[in-house]
Chains A and B, each alone.
Chain A
Amino acid sequence: MAKYPEDWRPTASLEMLRLRAGFLSKTRSFFAEREVLEVETPMLCSAGVTDPHLQNPSLRLEVPGLGEKDFYLQTSPEYAMKRLLAAGAPSIYQICHAFREGERGRIHNPEFTILEWYRLGWDDLGLMEEVEDLIRLLLGIPRIQRKSYREIWIETTGVDPHLSDLESLAALVPELGLPNLAPKHRNDYFDLIMSHHIEPQLRDLEAVFITDYPASQAALARIRPTDPPVAARFELFLKGLEIANGYHELLDTGEHLRRFEADLHDRRVEGDSSPEIDRRFIAALAEGLPECAGVALGFDRLLMVASAANSIDGVLSFPIDRA
């Protein structure tokens, strides 16, 4: 008799499936009460993202009428949801799968669940309040602390990131006992120090929002014209786990194009692929994205925190190794 593989069983317990179902249903009620509209957008799109450190999986499809064409599994539903907003949708949310090539580990699976939502007329500060309401509803935790990116750096490294140039960051790395990987960009130092030195210390905090990221790490957040200017971007960390990333959204089409071109330049320098800029997204921006704030939240990691799971495998029915 043929020998069947042993790894057909799920890695999540039945109890975990129930916890996930409960979180999904509470989340949908939360948004229904607040009259935020649930939407669905395609996971397979004709373009992906330009972010230097995100990789869309792609596949070639035969589509009657379109012929053979490359499609990109979305790293988040951001562009499609913003196209809905530009087309006149009210505040919207979506719970969907997202895909990121090359990401697998204790807290990463190449396919994962995102909760993403947009609030018309809101800014990042207002949206943080709503993220807090949802997290407190789901996890039953007390209020969430707020610390600026600058504050957390000064507390943990003694250094003001906004005033640090490439040389001073390079000098800080060995002082913190971190490996010198000879990064080329300030951002690479920010990533290294944040992920290897600061995030491990956030494990002692139940819940914290890190706000006001360096302008160079704005992604698609607008820049607050303070001194120094900072990104209107926040991240939520629960027990040191990066859970959510939110912006007071950038609206300006020209600035979008400048950031995308800068991404493509960084990719060329690294010898990575140069994906096409999503023309339909740019067209939607040109039509006019309304004033809004948006946030993406890693739903699987939220379940990890709720259940004290040590690995994302514990909250997924079938992680990639068993998919």
Chain B
Amino acid sequence: MATYNMNQVKVGLRILVDGEPCVITDTDFVKPGKGQAFTKIKYRNYRTDRINEMTLKSSDSVEGANVVEHEMQYLYSDGDMWYFMDQETFEQIGAGTDVVGDNAQWLKEEDLCMITLDNGNPIVVVPPNFVVLQIVETDPGVRGDTSGGGSKPAVLETGATVRVPLFVQEGEKIKVDTRTGEYVSRA
């Protein structure tokens, strides 16, 4: 893989830090007038989503990471793996629980997800920002209170539980923001 010197590092560059694929989110050039130059790099680890910082000398270099982000269609899960398909090549890949994590609760067949691939292997699966899911279980709303402020838990077809207004009923489809896990509207 390519290595990059300090003149080549910039925001958006994908690099390996301790073997982990990361993306540079910020750079800062620090140099006293007569002194040595340093480059400060902020980088986000693709897997953990954590942002860290490091300082390098002008003679240092960083290793590039072969990371791409690719939109793929979610097909199905067999319980251990979640399978996605490239819509152009029809190639399929499987991602394990360690990769999909809590996002499994938002995955609905045929939805388009953003998959981060490190050397072709999926390392991050991000569902669409908004998904439409059916309510499979929720208490009936209190009679007479059709639009008030109250809310109640509802279990969705993917297994996720969200809080919904009292007037929303079992069997209905709702729109959910997957970034916050919050109910948006009836679908």
Please report A residues at the B interface, Cβ cutoff 8 Å. Answer: 51, 53-54, 102-108, 178-179, 181, 183, 187-188, 190-192, 194-196, 199, 217, 219, 235, 242, 245, 270-271, 298
Contact = CB atoms under 8 A, between A and B. Distances in A.
13 contacts: A53-B35, A53-B37, A54-B34, A105-B31, A106-B28, A183-B36, A187-B36, A192-B38, A195-B31, A195-B35, A195-B38, A196-B38, A199-B32
Contacts of B56: 181
B55 A105 contact: no
Interface in B46-69: 54-59
A181 B29 contact: no
Interface of B: 7, 27-38, 54-59
B52 to A, nearest CB: 12
Interface core residue of B7, B38, B56 (most chain A CB under 10 Å):
B38
**6 tightest Cβ-Cβ pairs between the two chains A and B:** A105-B29, A191-B35, A179-B55, A191-B36, A195-B30, A195-B32
Chain A interface mostly: mixed
B33 to A, nearest CB: 5
B30 to A, nearest CB: 5
Nearest to B58: A102
A102 B5 CA distance: 11
Contacts of A219: 34
Contacts of A191: 32, 35-36
A103 B32 contact: no
A195 to B, nearest CB: 5
Contacts of A54: 34
Interface core residue of B27, B28, B35, B58 (most chain A CB under 10 Å):
B35
Contacts of B27: 105
Contact of B36 (A53, A179, A235, A245): A53
Contact of A245 (B30, B34, B55): B34
Contact of A102 (B7, B55, B57): B7
A192 B28 CA distance: 14
